[in-house]
Amino acid sequence: MQLTHPPLTLNVLHTLNSLGIQTLEDLHAHGSVKAFLLLKAAGLTITRSTLWQLEALIRGVKPQDLRPSEKAELLEKLKQHPPVDVFPPLAEMEHFMREALAQAEQSAAMGEIPVGAVVVRNGEVIAAAHNTCVTGCSISRHAEINVLSAAGEVLKNYRLDGCDVYITLEPCSMCTGALIQARVRRVIYGAAEPKTGAAGSVCDLFANSRLNSHTAVKGGILADACGEMLKRFFSSRR
């Protein structure tokens, strides 16, 4: 069933459609809270009444039929929801992930675990780095830490507001903490890390509201290529 105007306003309807939420089934899949946050992330000025409307559509009722307790529950979910953002088109994300993969190749050539990262601002790479833990004799020399430091030097600011970070591997807890502290807008990673991943595999620090996170996360971009590079590296070491 297609979403329509009415009951949604034209601005809300058009923005939802641009976000790939075109049917009631799509809205069910996202949920009213995430759809509401996506509308705000897309730049739409909306009020709580839009949230009530979205939830009412999902439930098949009128907004005025929602009880105060149900509205309060929605507001609590809104407060606790992980950061949400509108991510770039897939082709663009794959382009920058290939830049990160090129950095990972440099790590492999140095005998380092092949993980690479780039920082993108306004559609341009402003910093690129890779793992240097072995050569740097420091566990802190992960690709993410290195690239955040490099980007900070470029911007002359440790806070990287409005920047995206592309990483070939899901970040660990150390790097996730640094990404959150840097106020990175979006983190896009390639392969999941089932042993140490802190973006959902082992834990999800980005989703912990107590950490005051502002960073939205998306994984799985060129995941096969990123994972295959790691497999080749570890196979050659055995």
Residue with tokens 């329509």: 4
Going by the annotation, the residues of the binding site for Zn(2+) are 142, 172, 175
Q: Residue 200 pLDDT more than 80? A: yes
Reply yes or no on whether 92 is catalytic: no
Of the listed 112, 144, 170, 193, which one is catalytic? 144
Region of poorest pLDDT, from 54-63, 108-117, 204-213: 204-213
d(CA 230, CA 122): 30
Q: Residue 76 pLDDT more than 90? A: yes
| CB contact at 8 A, 110 and 132 | yes
d(CA 147, CA 141): 10
The pLDDT value given to residue 77 = 95
Average pLDDT over residues 154-169: 97
Nearest to 99 by CA among 140, 128, 73, 68: 128
Residue partners of 48: CB distance under 8 A and separation at least 6: 71, 75
The pLDDT value given to residue 21 = 97
Average pLDDT over residues 29-34: 97
Going by the annotation, the residues of the binding site are 142, 172, 175
The pLDDT value given to residue 214 = 84
- Please give the model's pTM, rounded to 2 decimal places: 0.92
d(CA 3, CA 227): 39
